[in-house]
Structure 1
């Protein structure tokens, strides 16, 4: 088997020595070409090259969720082919690694590599659904095409948190869970729409859901992790169904405390609940509109401001080695 290994050298939880060991282990079982990413979007370009190749049978992404997202968008640049789905393996190297962990892979890169090699030997794998989102950017120089996401997207509050974290990382701060928590508190204090939501959810054949303060779109569950603790925003979300949505119509200080507690104590059977909670399961097509421009993120990557985003859940989009 010939495979392309896409390596993010800035992956936060793997050293250069560890990456060399992993490359050697993978190369012992397949004909491997390893390429280190050099710029933002490079992993996407490599994924596209693999998709257009006649002899690359699989792509291995070594990095965090951002690296995986780029590789997936490259592999699926022409859309999924039901008769020849792209094959992807993921070696977690980021700070959270939601996609890999939601697939059941160990969060340790060495252990995950061993699991991938075992899966290749036995022919194990699964087909997963993904989400795709399209929206017109509110700033002309931020134009992006429709983009795939593997585990989540956010419009409004949580995307604002992601944007704040990215700003801190550009200043040299290390991505940690405490950094996210601090930026979430600052986003809450600065958010002018937390008492009166600006977001409307529109679905075919259903009444609009208006005045949402927060909207989280999930392709799987858990939504994220705090250390080793899984957080379930939409517990029923699955790689085998379309998309789930969690919306909150109020985010006052008491409401924030209540829903934060519910998230921290969430389980695979019980997520946020209450009269200000709107939750939807297995949506194939829907749109989130806003009265004002709001932050937008996909798989933890801040994509600027939007006033409208259309989502589609695509079943059977990708073959994953697990």
Structure 2
């Protein structure tokens, strides 16, 4: 079997020596080509070439969720898998690794490589559903290219926190749970829209839901991790269904305290709830829009400001070795 190992050389939790050892181990079972990313978007380009040229049977992403997202978008550049695309495999090397852990993979790169080798030998794989975010026709964001996401998207408050964290990381800060909590608190204190949101939820044949502050789209559960603790916003989200949405229409100090407690106590059966919480499960298509541009993120990658984003859930989008 031919494999392409796409390596992020600045992945948070793996050293150059560890990556070499992992590549050597994978080469024992695969006719392996190794490619290190050199710039943002390079992993997407490498995966797209492998899919278009038919040079790999499996593309392995060694890095964090951002690397995985790029590889997925490269593989699916021309649309969902019809049986001809390379399979995806993941070796976690980032700070959080939500997609890999949601698949049930170990969070340690060496252990995950062992699990991957076992799955390759057994021919074990599964089909996963994914989400697409795209600009909405007839809006200022109509020409924004569509982009696949593997586990979550955020429009509004959540994405603003991600943007703050990215800014801190660019200044040399490490990505830690403490950093996220600190930036979330600062964003809350500085966000003037926290009590009267500007986001509207639009669905065909449904009345709009207006004045949302937080809007989180989940493709699987958990939503994220605080260290080793899984955090569930939409506990019933799954790779086997459409998309889930959890939105909050009002953020007060008391509400933040209550929701924070809910998240810390969350489980596969229990997520966010309350009179200001809007929840949707297994949705195929909906749109989030705002009169004022708001922060937008996919899979933990801040993508700037948007006024309108349309979301589509695609079942059986890609095959994954697991």
Query: Does the TM-score normalized on the shorter chain lie above 0.5?
Result: yes
TM-score category (smaller protein)? over 0.9
- How far apart, CA to CA, are the structure 2 residues paired with 1:55 and 1:301? 28
Q: Could you say what secondary structure the match of 1:230 adopts?
A: strand
Kindly indicate whether the alpha-carbon contact (under 8 Å) linking 1:139 and 1:305 is maintained by their aligned counterparts in 2: no
Instruction: Write the mapping of 1:64-83 to structure 2, written as runs, cut at 5 A.
Output: 64-83=64-83
Q: Could you say what secondary structure the match of 1:71 adopts?
A: helix
- How far apart, CA to CA, are the structure 2 residues paired with 1:71 and 1:247? 29
TM-score normalised by length of structure 1: 0.97
* Higher mean C-alpha deviation, range 63-72 or range 45-54: 45-54
Could you list the per-position Cα deviations for residues 114-139 of structure 1 after superposition, in whole angstroms to 9, with x for gaps in the alignment? 00000011111110000000127999
Kindly indicate whether the alpha-carbon contact (under 8 Å) linking 2:153 and 2:218 is maintained by their aligned counterparts in 1: yes
Asked if 1:147 corresponds to 2:134, the answer is: no
Q: 1:241 corresponds to which residue?
A: 241
Q: 2:156 corresponds to which residue?
A: 156
Paired residues, what number? 320
Q: 2:285 corresponds to which residue?
A: 285
User: How far apart are 1:6 and its partner, in Å?
Assistant: 0.2
Kindly indicate whether the alpha-carbon contact (under 8 Å) linking 2:51 and 2:85 is maintained by their aligned counterparts in 1: no
Q: 2:191 corresponds to which residue?
A: 191
- How far apart, CA to CA, are the structure 2 residues paired with 1:266 and 1:82? 36
- How far apart, CA to CA, are the structure 1 residues paired with 2:182 and 2:77? 36
Kindly indicate whether the alpha-carbon contact (under 8 Å) linking 2:56 and 2:86 is maintained by their aligned counterparts in 1: no
Could you list the per-position Cα deviations for residues 40-79 of structure 1 after superposition, in whole angstroms to 9, with x for gaps in the alignment? 0000100111111223111000000000000000000000
Instruction: Write the mapping of 1:46-125 to structure 2, written as runs, cut at 5 A.
Output: 46-125=46-125
User: How far apart are 1:170 and its partner, in Å?
Assistant: 1.1
Q: 1:256 corresponds to which residue?
A: 256
User: How far apart are 1:228 and its partner, in Å?
Assistant: 0.6
Q: Give the gaps of 5 or more residues in structure 2.
A: none
Q: CA RMSD in A?
A: 1.5
User: How far apart are 1:157 and its partner, in Å?
Assistant: 0.4
Q: 1:25 corresponds to which residue?
A: 25
Kindly indicate whether the alpha-carbon contact (under 8 Å) linking 2:81 and 2:318 is maintained by their aligned counterparts in 1: no
| Structure 1 residue ranges, 4+ long, deviating more than 6 angstroms after superposition | 136-140
Q: Give the gaps of 5 or more residues in structure 1.
A: none
Q: Could you say what secondary structure the match of 2:184 adopts?
A: helix
- How far apart, CA to CA, are the structure 2 residues paired with 1:42 and 1:165? 23
